[in-house]
Structure 1
């Protein structure tokens, strides 16, 4: 009996595993976002099964599985075909696994009704490290087209974009916590000086003049420390860069409708969208604007009642595009409006389909809108009367005046 591994280890394995742990994706629960990406992969290839996998040191964690009868969260690394895919930055495909002798010892290939067709795209980070794969499986031989393989690679990049966005935001939150801790530490001593000086003044009035100077000095020190920390925080916020390109809102709306259609159908909800065809070109960060709309539409579905209508629309208003997400859900009260865009805010509305919420979505949304020099606000007539979120993003280039036309819609 030998200890030979039936899979090879990438040369950058240590760095790869370090990055994988940074993402904090291992052993997490299933998420609708990843499930929808896996479902889309299965539909593109017209196959029964699709998976999103992350390759750990000794195992492969299955983040999402479509078409698998029994829920399974991991398999040994030596049993996963994904262990081969992470060795090279290419889309890997087997039209018929039985034509590849090196696969014939794999239990998932050998099993009765086992894997015959397999195609996977590596999940590659911006640093070039491969975290795992998105793969599709069929239990009979078949051929994949170049277009299908290209779309699979595109889905892999979307997964990594999601993970990178989460990582950036988590680091931002951690940075703010660190700044708060520094602030508490830095002002502790000046506050102690102020407290002591006040006690001395109360016990010895003649010392008031000298102690007053000590208090003034301590206050100046606190103000200087807080100013430095605020400046540092502002610099960190400005470090978030925009990847500006032309954005077709009609196309983005159609993609959102497709992505959320199944989720809305579960609650017997209907999504209607309208985008003025005469809108000027919006130059913005496509990913961040998509995340903004994704968060708002996801919240509209999450907090609206079954059988209601959600409206997504966009129109030109002066030098801005106004995007509205309107629902017939639980609405907002005065207290909700006061803390709506703060981190970890607890609002009165509750998910109507047992969905979960981390309290960060609207805070992230606001930061992304403001990075575009835009604004976001909400309107609600009151509880159980629905909510409308309005996002205003400035156009960089306007059309010629004779072509301008402001569209009206409900």
Structure 2
């Protein structure tokens, strides 16, 4: 067969291939019995002394399993027969390498005890990206049979199954950790309201009735959200599930402002609300409330004393347009670049000794995107305030709905 020279070839899907390889987290890991057993089976099927499971990134060929006398675990990818298999993107066989002029000076072919027989099969992810190669070699020429090559293909599929199972398990663990982080974040604000209400009751017994109502509301909120998260955890899905219903945005804002009144009063802040009447949006009430709650909470937390926070909500075409504008510390360019990143450390600091765990905006962004919406922030610079803008479709559409509309418009 002919040899495609790596120097002239650049795969169009190389970035996607490398991303999948990174997802597997297999490079530079220790040898494992599972992979060595698969290599041993390959060696036995071909009656060859050498077998390899190789993963190839942008510059190296990493030998995850090396059943040979070679005392190495990685080599530069260029010039390796495994990389040739990756480029060919199919079963690659050299029954006698000496019969291929382009291989005669090959690093692993040229020596007297060099490779004379080679058979390699790509290790393909379910998406079709070749992340590695399983191969066998010998110092003498051989004839590979179709049955042997079919067995090698089967072994490559076993490797992919192993990688995918690990990936699913890891993502499941990450999903559970994310749910835990969300739970911890969502109970923090209701607990703060309860604590403030308790302080006011101790100072002014006449406000007890109003404060006990707030405490009851906060406790019910925590119970509902924790129950939702437990249900989500039982589903064992990565994406959060939405319970779609009609939501009156002004009513939701008014209720939130009542809850935030204590926090704002502590810093002598004024919250102005400008919201269209009867503004209805289809969405998950709990998660929409979390979005607005986090934005208002941040505005209060990072704004100075004696300032005004302006909240606006209106209909813009087929979208709900929300703005939360403060007169706080503002954002610099670096802040905006990493604003919605989990656990991001920003230059702004809470102005009233409040705590921050860096999760709020990350969670907010995920909830907005679940509603097929967008969120971004604008700031003229440090100490010039920040405006958060949220845009969400008034009518919720599933992925199937969106695909159907796209097909009609095409």
TM-score interval, normalised by the smaller of the two chains: 0.5 to 0.7
Equivalent position SS for 1:118: strand
Relative to structure 1, is the Cα distance of residues 17 and 100 closer, same or farther in structure 2, using a 3 angstrom cutoff?
Answer: same
Alignment check: 8 A CA contact 2:175 2:238 kept: no
Q: In the alignment, is residue 143 of structure 1 matched against residue 143 of structure 2?
A: yes
Give matches, 1:216-231, under 5 Å: 216-231=216-231
Equivalent position SS for 1:142: coil
Deviations 1:363-385 (A, max 9, x none): xxxxxxxxxxxxxxxxxxxxxxx
TM-score, normalised on structure 1? 0.55
Please give the root-mean-square deviation of Cα atoms over the aligned residues, in Å.
Answer: 1.9
Structure 1 residue 82, shift from structure 2 partner: 1.0
Alignment check: 8 A CA contact 1:123 1:156 kept: yes
Structure 1 residue 101, shift from structure 2 partner: 1.1
Instruction: Please give the alpha-carbon distance, in whole angstroms, between the structure 1 residues aligned to 2:6 and 2:97.
Output: 20
Unaligned ranges ≥5, structure 2: 240-410
Partner of 2:106: 106
Partner of 1:242: none
Partner of 2:69: 68
Alignment check: 8 A CA contact 1:53 1:132 kept: yes
- Structure whose alpha-carbon radius of gyration is higher: 2
Deviations 1:190-222 (A, max 9, x none): 011112222333344443322221110000111
Give matches, 1:196-345, under 5 Å: 196-237=196-237
Deviations 1:203-251 (A, max 9, x none): 4444332222111000011112222323333334499xxxxxxxxxxxx
Instruction: Please give the alpha-carbon distance, in whole angstroms, between the structure 1 residues aligned to 2:111 and 2:9.
Output: 23
Partner of 2:182: 182
Q: In the alignment, is residue 53 of structure 1 matched against residue 47 of structure 2?
A: no
Structure 1 residue 69, shift from structure 2 partner: 4.3
Instruction: Please give the alpha-carbon distance, in whole angstroms, between the structure 1 residues aligned to 2:231 and 2:16.
Output: 33
Alignment check: 8 A CA contact 1:113 1:139 kept: yes
Alignment check: 8 A CA contact 2:6 2:84 kept: no
Count of paired positions: 235
Equivalent position SS for 1:179: helix
Equivalent position SS for 2:58: coil
Equivalent position SS for 2:54: strand
Q: In the alignment, is residue 36 of structure 1 matched against residue 25 of structure 2?
A: no
Alignment check: 8 A CA contact 1:8 1:83 kept: no
Relative to structure 1, is the Cα distance of residues 183 and 191 closer, same or farther in structure 2, using a 3 angstrom cutoff?
Answer: same
Indicate the larger mover: 133-142 or 176-185: 176-185
Instruction: Please give the alpha-carbon distance, in whole angstroms, between the structure 2 residues aligned to 1:238 and 1:182.
Output: 13
Alignment check: 8 A CA contact 1:8 1:84 kept: no
Partner of 1:86: 86
Equivalent position SS for 2:55: strand
